[in-house]
Amino acid sequence: MERIAYVMRLKPDMVEGYKEAHQRVWPELIEAGTRAGVRNHSCFVRGNAVIIYLETEDYAATVRELSDKDVVKRWNAYMADYFDGGIQAQQSEPWEEVFHMD
């Protein structure tokens, strides 16, 4: 199982809206993620920093499968205004895991 983590920055005036949007994540988005192998997906907010965490068997395959999904494209477009510099400017390689304890 691969454990994936990202850190992103929200626009300071969009933090509450981001939290509210995640109280009503689209069921079809969750379905698409589950079908693509996403497990244990979480977002954590402190100030305007967001840590995004997920687990999947094959991250590269999951990204490939989700990148073609219309619902993912629509969600990313919907979320873009929340992020400082837009969502595309924020996306990068996941952080390297150097320790894990079960």
Entry pTM: 0.87
pLDDT, tens digit (0-9, with 9 covering 90-100), for 26-48: 999 999 999 999 999 999 999 99
| Residue 95 belongs to some domain of the structure | no
Question: Please, where are the H alpha helices in the chain?
Answer: 15-21, 27-35, 59-67, 70-80, 87-90
Asked whether the predicted pLDDT for residue 84 surpasses 90, the reply is: no
Number of domains in the chain: 1
Amino acid in position 37: G
| Residue 97 belongs to some domain of the structure | no
What pLDDT is recorded for position 5?
93
Asked whether 8 and 102 are in contact (CB, 8 A), the reply is no
22 in active site: yes
**E-assigned strand segments in 10-94:** 39-46, 49-56
Asked whether the predicted pLDDT for residue 101 surpasses 70, the reply is: yes
Mean pLDDT of all residues belonging to the chain: 92
What pLDDT is recorded for position 87?
64
| Residue 100 belongs to some domain of the structure | no
Structure tokens that stand for 61 in this block: 């395959």
Determine the structural domain holding residue 74 and report its residue range: 2-90
| Residue 67 belongs to some domain of the structure | yes
Longest dimension (CA), the chain: 36
- Catalytic choice (1, 7, 16, 22): 22
| Residue 101 belongs to some domain of the structure | no
Which CATH number is 21's domain given? 3.30.70.100
